[in-house]
Chain A
Amino acid sequence: NAGVTQTPKFQVLKTGQSMTLQCAQDMNHNSMYWYRQDPGMGLRLIYYSASEGTTDKGEVPNGYNVSRLNKREFSLRLESAAPSQTSVYFCASSAPDRGNEQYFGPGTRLTVT
């Protein structure tokens, strides 16, 4: 099992450019999450998907969209990147039969100039 995988690992964008961060899990988990990590602020939830076909806003959803393509994949899209979106982005997944413990991917380091 690869667990949770994310692509790309690093990305540099110019202000106004768009991009999609990809996340996939092979653990058959129902729920998936996108977080951003900023220094001194811990991880903050951007969006989550409790199950295939559903998505909901988290704490900091502005400037982002998500798609739960199928049970395995959950993508995060920045339509018009801003410097404030410079961050490290983590995807996670969880399942009720594992106590809803969240498993994290390796992260994507995004810089917006």
Chain B
Amino acid sequence: AQSVSQHNHHVILSEAASLELGCNYSYGGTVNLFWYVQYPGQHLQLLLKYFSGDPLVKGIKGFEAEFIKSKFSFNLRKPSVQWSDTAEYFCAVMLSSGSARQLTFGSGTQLTVLP
């Protein structure tokens, strides 16, 4: 079964600092990759997704992620974080084949941005 690892459980940054959140998955086949964000008290929203093509994916709010197939990684980056980026971030993997489009989520990374 596939699994997703997010090694950083809680990251604390000051405004304007650069961000990189790690995500590794274990599955040898073709996958679709996602980053979701959950602001305090809200539901999950899609930040960005990768299906195929350019491994550098740009999402909303200045976020981007790079798919490195050889490392089974899909790390999330932002050059300069803002206080409003305080949220929990989830990486998720979906198998590209099969009848069921199930998502497997990582355990999440809580990002706190200090003003």
- Interface, chain A (partner B; CB < 8 A): 31, 33, 35, 40-45, 48, 50, 56, 58, 90, 94, 96, 99-102, 104-107
Q: Which of B32, B43, B105 has the most CB of A within 10 A?
A: B43
B73 interface hit (Cβ, 8 Å): no
Q: Which residue of B lies closest to A30 (CB)?
A: B101
* Residues of B contacting A94 in the complex (Cβ-Cβ under 8 angstroms): 101
* Residues of A contacting B6 in the complex (Cβ-Cβ under 8 angstroms): 42
- Select the stretch in B44-52, B59-67, B74-82 that faces chain A: B44-52
Measured in the bound complex, the distance between the Cα atoms of B94 and A104 in whole Å is: 16
* Residues of B contacting A31 in the complex (Cβ-Cβ under 8 angstroms): 101
Question: Would you give the shortest CB distance from B89 to chain A, in whole angstroms?
Answer: 11
Contact with A along B99-112 (1 / 0, CB 8 A): 11111111110000
Knowing A45-B102, A58-B102, A106-B42, say if A100 contacts B108 (CB, 8 Å).
no
Measured in the bound complex, the distance between the Cα atoms of B90 and A33 in whole Å is: 17
Q: Which residue of A lies closest to B105 (CB)?
A: A42
B69 interface hit (Cβ, 8 Å): no
